[in-house]
Amino acid sequence: MNSLTILGALPLLGSAALFLLPRANELLAKRVALGVSTVVAVAGLAIAMNFDRSVTGFQLVEKYSWIPAFGINFGLGVDGMALLLILLALILTPIVILACWNEAEGSRWSVKTFFALLLILETMMIGVFAATDIFLFYLFFEAMLIPVYFLIGGYGSGERAAAAVKFLLYSLFGGLLMLASIIGLYVVSRDQLGAPTFDVTELQKLSLNNQTEAFLFLGFFIAFAIKAPLWPFHTWLPDAAKAATPGTSVLLLGVLDKVGTYGMIRFCLTLFPDASKQFGPTIIVLSLISIFYGAFLAIWQSNGDIKRLISYTSISHFGFITLGIFAFTAQGQSGSILYMVNHGFSTAALFLIAGWMIARRNSSKVQDFGGLQRVTPVLAWTFFIAGLSSLALPGLSSFVSEFLVLVGTFVRYPLAAVIGTLGIILAALYILIPVQRSLHGPVAPGNENLKDLNLREKIAIAPVIALIIFFGFFPQILLNVINPGAQASISALNIGPSTGGDK
């Protein structure tokens, strides 16, 4: 069964169909896009049913020799982490399409192209998480930029062209570093294994000398740290998120940026265990800086732009994810992977609802809102719940992952965990200050007649809110999928006690 290939090809076929549709019939284009992405989501869930939670390593494996001269394979497969990230993408895509039904109208480019680009992006997202061949991964990693670039540049607002170019240059720079490391790996594998390979499982057998390993690690790590993004590689994100349409931002921050943290686990930890350990403490410090830096700047943006605010909260959250990854404990690792999924949902909710607020008010300044609780109660409630998820309220999904990250960090680096825990105070501020400014208080001038969420918007946001609450109480459903792979990647590091209470 080539289930992953078929899954990945479906959205691409859908986008081809969209291009063939008449430009004038926008509604048909939207319906086709929604239909295709829904079918893909259902298909993805069906495939996930066949996933065996009891085994580690890749499943649903496909492998075809692609360019035999260089040992390049078309290799696909998923472990728990990849499966959940793919499912996250598959669930969010139809939600974004439904939520952003009218987002592309009045843009420079046509509506059908917007949805076609979203579907192309969906294929890329499946591919990048399913690739088990580093060359294939690199291709998806870079090719992914193209639809995003056009989605920002063609449909965004404000300084969209500048933001799109900034995004592109940053990513290109990271990509080039990764490319250098990939070539390096190729050379070493050819020398050590007799035949060159790009297969991620095969490459783990290499034994690298310290210096080589450090350089190769850094090439990958910086590329991923830009994508994730980690301080100080973050400045492209607020610009891109502000200029992009909300739907694009959801996929950008909710899914695409996870390629960075995913890559750290998949490639940095498994291919360069010694360098990971060597750079681990430095990355822990960078993570802590990210947590606080992102949080403070998010607080600052409560005087400013709501989309920039959300993107700075994400920088803080990504700090938690990298903290958990480089704590090298079972709890930190599983917590970080779960965090990637949960952050996808909570950021999606925040961006979609902020997008609806902006569309209604025709402004993205936090201070232009005010009193929405009394004018548009459903919108206000959904925004509030999404905010609570972002500040990791116990009972909501993000609490479980944030706490696992912190407890996992505490096992190895108690001081770092104590400092990181202080971040939860700032989280309360960066959510509750904008909540107060935009939802509470007297109704701000110009907001008196804003309309509450319509049925389409309610249908789009309901599943996200439901999942945020559901996984707060039943995270074990996800953790059962995550744990085996996370455990394996930690024990492969061979780094001593990786869990608490061993006395």
Partner 1 sequence: MNGTSQMLVYLIAIPLFSATVLLLGSRALDKVGHIIGTLASTAAFVVGLLEFFAMLGRAPENRAVTQPLFTWIEVGNFNVGATLLLDQLSICFVLLITGVGTLIHIYSIAYMSHDKDRRRFFAFLNLFIAAMLLLVLGDSYLSLYVGWEGVGLASYLLIGFWNQKPAYATAAKKAFVANRVGDVGLSLAVMIAFVQFGSVSFSGVAEGVEAGKASSLALNCLGAALLLAAVGKSAQFPLQAWLGDAMAGPTPVSALIHAATMVTAGVYLISRSHFVFDVASVAQLLVVIVGAITLLFGAIIGMAKDDIKKALAASTMSQIGYMILATGLGPVGYAFAMMHLLTHGFFKAGMFLGAGSVMHGMNDEVDMRKYGALRKYMPVTFITFGLGYLAIIGVPPFAGFYSKDKIIEIALDAGGAKGIILGSITLLGAAITAFYMSRVMLMTFFGSKRWEADAHPHESPALMTIPMVILAIGSISAGFIFNLGDRFINFLNPVFHSDHSGHGEKEHLLPPIVVSALALTAVAIGVSIAIAKYGRGKSIPAVAPADVSVWTKVARRDLLQDDLNEALFMRPGQELTKALAIVDEKVIDGAVRGVGSLTLDVASGVRRTQTGFVRSYALWVIVGAVGILATIAVMSL
Question: Which residues ranging from 116 to 135 are in contact with partner 1 (CB under 8 A)?
Answer: 135
Q: What is the number of residues in the chain?
A: 503
Per CB under 8 A, 182 contacts partner 1: yes
Report yes or no: 292 and 423 within 8 Å, Cβ to Cβ.
Answer: yes
251, 92 contact by CB (below 8 A): yes
Q: Which residue in 155, 293, 351, 356 binds partner 1 (CB under 8 A)?
A: 293
Indicate the residue among 17 and 443 with the shorter CB distance to partner 1. Answer: 443
Choosing from 16, 45, 418, 466, the residue that interacts with partner 1 (CB under 8 A) is 418
Q: Is the dihedral of CA 432, 437, 438, 443 positive or negative?
A: positive
Chain positions 358 to 397 lying near partner 1, rule: CB under 8 A, are 371, 373-374, 388, 393-395
CA distance 185 to 214: 12
Q: Is 19 in the site for partner 1 (CB under 8 A)?
A: no
Among 145, 203, 354, 460, the residue binding partner 1 under the rule CB under 8 A is: 145
Q: How far apart are CA 47 and CA 212, in angstroms?
A: 39
Q: Which is nearer to partner 1, 61 or 180 (CB)?
A: 180
Please tell me the number of Cα atoms within 13 Å of 59 on its side-chain side. Answer: 19
- Using only C-alpha atoms, what is the Rg of the chain? 22
CB of 374 to partner 1, least distance (A): 6
Nearer to partner 1, 9 or 443 (CB): 443
> Whose Cβ is closer to partner 1: residue 6's or residue 424's?
424
Is residue 483 within the footprint of partner 1 (CB under 8 A)? yes
**CB environment 28-37: b (16+ within 10 A), e (fewer):** ebbebbbebb
Residue 171 structure tokens? 């990513």
Closest CA to 273 of 197, 216, 188, 323: 216
Considering only 14-22, 170-178, 265-273, 351-359, which stretch makes contact with partner 1 by CB under 8 A?
Answer: 170-178
Find the binding residues for partner 1 in span 45-64 (CB under 8 A): none
Q: Give the C-alpha separation, 453 to 476, whole Å.
A: 32
* Among 424, 444, 450, 488, interactor with partner 1 by CB under 8 A: 424
| DSSP letter for each residue of 469-491 | HHHHH-THHHHHHHHHHHHHHHH
Q: Is 215 near partner 1 (CB under 8 A)? A: no
State which of residues 108, 300, 415, 456 lies at the interface with partner 1 (CB under 8 A). Answer: 300
Q: Which of these segments, 15-23, 67-75, 213-221, 352-360, binds partner 1 (CB under 8 A)?
A: 67-75
Using the minimum distance from each CB to partner 1, give the nearer residue, 61 or 432: 432
Binding-site member from 28, 46, 422, 492 for partner 1 (CB under 8 A): 422
Residue whose C-alpha is closest to residue 134's, from 85, 68, 71: 71
Question: Given candidates 28, 45, 183, 459, which one binds partner 1 under the rule CB under 8 A?
Answer: 183
Does 196 engage in binding with partner 1 (CB under 8 A)? Answer: yes
In terms of Cα–Cα distance, which of 318, 335, 324 is closest to 399?
335
Whichever of 47 and 453 has its CB closer to partner 1, that residue is 453
Residue 503 burial (C-beta neighbours within 10 Å; 0-12, 13-18, 19+): exposed
- Minimum distance from residue 301 beta carbon to partner 1 (Å): 8
- Does 446 engage in binding with partner 1 (CB under 8 A)? no
Nearest partner of 264 among 178, 382, 383, judged by Cα: 178
According to CB under 8 A, which one of 277, 365, 440, 458 is a site residue for partner 1? 440
Pick between residue 51 and residue 149 the one whose CB is nearest to partner 1: 149
Amino acid at 187: V
Is 193 a binding residue for partner 1 by CB under 8 A? The answer is no
Residue ranges of alpha helices (H) inside 194-305 are: 200-203, 210-227, 236-243, 246-251, 258-263, 270-271, 273-300
